[in-house]
Amino acid sequence: MGNDTSGVSFTEDTVTVSFNQQGARIILTHALSLDDRVWVRNLENGVQEEFRVIGASKDVFGSRREWSLEAVNPQAALWGVAFENNADTSQPKVLVECATCHAAVESTLSNIEYEVLLATGLLSRHCERCRETTRWKPSEQAVTWETLARSVSPLVIGAEERRRARRLRLSMHLRVRNASGMIDMAQTRDVSKTGLCFISRQRFPLGDEIYITLPYAKSKAPVEIKGKVVWMAEGSSGRLYGAEYVR
């Protein structure tokens, strides 16, 4: 809810592209002005919070466009998810939920926790709601990029994905480059010990050798992993790529 660039008030039902504690990216048909204030209401829980418009992203389709919003109150419970603060931004984050009460928490994982979750799909940790140690698993409540993922239709498939290891649904920033010098800041959809699926707006050819920095953090020297694009699917808001690591 807010005012568009003409100053006319509007209300629009829409979806998130991604969100975190600091803000969100959403899709709108109405045009916004930078630094304007809008109100976002989560239709699942009825919570409503104020956001500041900080930028426009790409056109999605027709008159629809992605907009970046900054939360006026980062501590708000709009998304129904608890965020844990951690100074080490290079560590992977995953949305996990308690298998007992289904409380969801976005948690920064240690390297050990990351390996355990990849291998078994479960973690043991304390649940504030249950007030005891319970089993936690990757949350199906995660909505980061899910709208995009649901819109994908396999128009171009290069090779059938080889699921040789457990896949963990995990959202992390990564940098992808190829030998011709094309670089993109992308985002993972899931990962495993043998490869990953990532979402990008760039076009990487099937069979292309790529170099992946994962997770990506500006404060860290990049450590690249060599990979190869083995499948690709076109979506209305971007492209899904399957890549396998080249040992």
Q: Domains of the chain: which residue ranges?
A: 2-71, 82-138, 149-245
Reply yes or no on whether the pLDDT at 166 is more than 70: no
CATH match for 149-245 among 2.40.10.220, 3.40.1360.10, 2.40.110.10, 2.60.40.10:
2.40.10.220
- pLDDT number for residue 152: 37
Is residue 158's pLDDT more than 80?
A: no
Sequence letter at residue 14: T
Residues in CB range of 174: below 8 A, 6 or more apart: 185, 186, 187, 188, 198, 212, 213, 214, 215, 216
Residue 86, φ and ψ in degrees, nearest 5: -150, 130
* Tokens, residue 87: 């100074």
Q: What is the pLDDT of residue 214?
A: 72
Binning pLDDT at 50, 70 and 90, where does residue 80 land?
A: confident
The CA–CA distances, whole Å, from 191 to 22, 38, 63, 94 equal: 25, 35, 33, 11
Q: What is the pLDDT of residues 83-135, one digit of tens each?
A: 776 554 455 667 788 888 888 887 777 655 665 566 567 777 788 888 887 88
* Beta carbons of 227 and 244 less than 8 angstroms apart: yes
- 226: closest CA among 176, 168, 152, 180? 176
Given this model, what pLDDT does residue 163 score? 46
Q: With bands split at pLDDT 50, 70 and 90, how would you rate the model's confidence at 225?
A: confident
Residue 203 — pLDDT band, cuts 50, 70, 90?
confident
Q: For residue 3, is pLDDT > 80?
A: yes
pLDDT at residue 17, as a whole number: 84
Enter the pTM of the model.
0.42
- The band of 21, judged by pLDDT with boundaries at 50, 70 and 90, is confident
Share in percent of the chain as helix, strand, coil (round to 5): 5, 45, 45
DSSP state for residue 109 in the 8-state scheme: P
From 97-111, 165-179, 216-230, the region with the lowest mean pLDDT? 216-230
What mean pLDDT value characterizes the chain?
A: 76
What is the CA angle 232-238-242, rounded to 5?
25
Q: Which of 70, 74, 28 is nearest to 53 (CA)?
A: 70
Please state whether the peptide bond connecting residue 74 to the residue before it is cis, i.e. omega within 30 degrees of 0: no
Q: What is the mean pLDDT of residues 217-246?
A: 77
